[in-house]
Amino acid sequence: MTNLMEAQNQLRASFTSGDIAGSQQLLDQLGARAYRTQDQVLLNLELGTLHYFNGNHAESKAYFISAEEEIDRLFGISVERNLRAFLVNDGELEYQGEDYEDVMINLFNALSAIHLGDLEAATVEARRASFKLENLSIRYDGLVETLSRSDTTSTDTSPGWGRGSTNIQASPFGHFLSYVIFSRQGREDNARIEFDRFQRTFSRNFPGQRFIESSRGTTAAVQGRGAPEAGNVLLLGFGGQAPSKVSNELRIYSNDLRTYIKYAVPSLRQHPTSIQRVEAVINGTQTVSMPLLDDFATTAESVFQVRRPIIITRAIIRSTLKHVANRAGQRAAASEFGEGGRILARLVGTIATELTEVADLRSWQTMPGRVHGQTVHLPPGTHEIKIRYFDRTNRIIHELVQHVDISPDNKLQIAETFFPG
């Protein structure tokens, strides 16, 4: 795990420096050396992101599909995996991905499908993102019930199996993408429904933030005409960083202070962003506001709380069983070799506890933290689009120029950038 943790840190540092091509080269170098067989989902997530932002959308989609299929397989054997975790550290199990990571797969695949000209596939992927979030609680209710029946350890310190809760029940960005696609296809009723779902979902998921609509969208809503017609260019400004995992450790000593139980579980650490707003300048003349469409980092924090009680219960049972075995080993050593044997057994047990009872800190390092966006309508031809990121003092902290070619068939295009700031 040490090599993998170092690899994760290197990859995040490279990616957040903005060197996406260099990050892919780094991952190619680290791959076989740092990522083990049980880390395959994680590796595919990183490869999927880097290929996406490097413009290799077919390759990106293939890596993400592989990751999603393995995540589904591993959840199908979740009971077996959770019971195995009583014996081995979580980090030695196959990484099954976090639920928020699973949702992001579909959002990236929806965008890749748009890039590849397959709007129907994009709609399916966008809807899958919200479907997963809508059914998250139901999914874990079934797992908790099965674990409760299967767990025969009955440790006194176990709090029992349960799940947490989240207010995140759908993907704003998924609904926004569906609205754009339906609007471009002329399916006005579907577009109106998805635009309304986007607005309601955004308000529910992020009550402290406000989606600032364009004047065109506000006028359409006020006059009762439904959703604004989406333009033929989808402007996207990805930004910020996904949360990373940190270890929370607790040591509870026995009454004689000779042994202790160590608990180690992960929690998410947010990486604050300096991004306050994003805008696009079209052909040097037209300025378009790009409001926040989704906050992936906030979603991750909330969704992670659903599974965290299961992680904690698993850690408590595993640590307690290790403690019982350690005490039994000390008694056996004392009986056979006297006080010196007991001290040696205690030392060995303590070292083993510290080395093996560690939190699983694996996570998707190249996942962006948020996305800003808007659509515009541009005539056929080549257009320059400069996407700018501003901080709280209204200072430009990053800008990148994109060029889009609008064909006579008015096909939906994406102009996007990423800034980790």
The CA distance from 170 to 130, in Å, is 4
**What stretches of 73-232 adopt beta strand conformation (E)?**
none
Running DSSP on this structure, what letter comes out for residue 117? T
Question: CA 268, 162, 129, 226: dihedral to nearest 10 degrees?
Answer: -100
pLDDT in tens, 50-92: 999 999 999 999 999 999 999 999 887 765 665 555 556 777 8
Running DSSP on this structure, what letter comes out for residue 122? H
pLDDT of residue 118: 97
Give percent above pLDDT 70 in the chain.
Answer: 79
Q: How far is CA 204 from CA 6, 46, 168, 171, 371, in A?
A: 37, 30, 8, 11, 17
- Checking if the pLDDT of 307 tops 90, the result is no
**What stretches of 233-367 adopt beta strand conformation (E)?**
233-241, 244-253, 260-269, 277-282, 286-290, 292-294
- Checking if the pLDDT of 256 tops 90, the result is no
pLDDT of residue 200: 92
Question: CA 40, 44, 50, 54: dihedral to nearest 10 degrees?
Answer: 140
pLDDT of residue 249: 87
pLDDT of residue 385: 98
Average pLDDT for the chain: 85
| Better pLDDT: 194 or 357 | 194
Running DSSP on this structure, what letter comes out for residue 90? G
pLDDT of residue 152: 55
DSSP for 378-420, please give it.
Answer: --SEEEEEEEEEE-TTS-EEEEEEEEEEE-TT---EEEEEEE-
pLDDT of residue 214: 41
Half-sphere exposure of 148 (CA within 13 A, CB side): 11
Instruction: Return the amino acid letter for 87.
Output: L
| Better pLDDT: 219 or 272 | 272
Contact present, 237 and 290 (Cβ < 8 Å): yes
Other Cβ atoms within 10 Å of 115 Cβ, number: 20
Give percent above pLDDT 90 in the chain.
Answer: 60
- Checking if the pLDDT of 289 tops 70, the result is yes
What does the radius of gyration of the chain's CA atoms come to, in whole angstroms? 25
Task: Tabulate helix, strand, coil % of the chain (nearest 5).
Answer: 55, 20, 30
Of 199, 233, 234, 231, the closest CA to residue 213 belongs to 199
Instruction: Give the predicted TM-score (pTM) of the model.
Output: 0.86
